[in-house]
């Protein structure tokens, strides 16, 4: 399939603490995307500083890193047709107040500082983030039995 791609999705510490992991995974599975990698990790500060390097000059950067190291994160790689763009739509706007009902942030979040989930914003950033969080051998390639019913 020509538009099959991968994206990086991370459930942030507030999403883990609020026990939303299963609900979020269910949404991606019901949509038809295929999980090819997942890990439950207390992300080290060095990893988060590299992940959010493009925000290092912003005044909220230290608080962001502190928040992201405050508890475990569920890091995932999802695969499917236009999964980056569709995944971003499923997440909703960065500011939950701007997110529509039916999106993850629209349904579960109130404040931008606790928006429970991260999703890659482009194929290029997805590839960078996947390589930052996962080793190649931690990702599984397989054909889902539902593939022919979706595509």
**This prediction's pTM:** 0.94
Q: What is residue 84's predicted lDDT score, i.e. its pLDDT?
A: 98
Q: Top-level CATH class of 6-142? A: alpha beta
Strands (E) in 15-124, as ranges, are 34-41, 73-81, 117-119
Q: What is residue 4's predicted lDDT score, i.e. its pLDDT?
A: 84
Distance CA 68, CA 62 (A): 10
Which residues make up each annotated binding site?
A: 12, 60, 88, 94, 105, 115
The strand pair at 73-81 and 4-11 is best described as antiparallel
Which residues make up each annotated binding site for ATP?
A: 12, 60, 88, 94, 105, 115
Q: pLDDT below 50 — which residues of the chain?
A: 1
End-to-end alpha carbon distance in the chain: 8
């Amino acid at each position: 399939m020509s538009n099959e791609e991968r994206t990086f999705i991370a459930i942030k510490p507030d999403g883990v603490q609020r026990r939303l992991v299963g609900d979020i995974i269910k949404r991606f599975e019901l949509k038809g995307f295929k999980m090819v990698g997942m890990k439950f990790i207390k992300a080290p500060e060095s990893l988060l500083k590299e992940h959010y390097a493009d925000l290092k000059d912003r005044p909220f950067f230290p608080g962001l890193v502190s928040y992201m190291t405050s508890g475990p994160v569920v890091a995932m790689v999802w695969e499917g047709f236009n999964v980056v763009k569709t995944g971003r739509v499923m997440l909703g706007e960065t500011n939950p107040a701007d997110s529509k009902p039916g999106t993850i942030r629209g349904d579960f979040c109130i404040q931008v500082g606790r928006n429970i989930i991260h999703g890659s914003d482009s194929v290029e950033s997805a590839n960078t983030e996947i390589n930052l969080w996962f080793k190649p051998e931690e990702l599984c390639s397989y054909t889902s039995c539902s593939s022919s019913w979706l595509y």
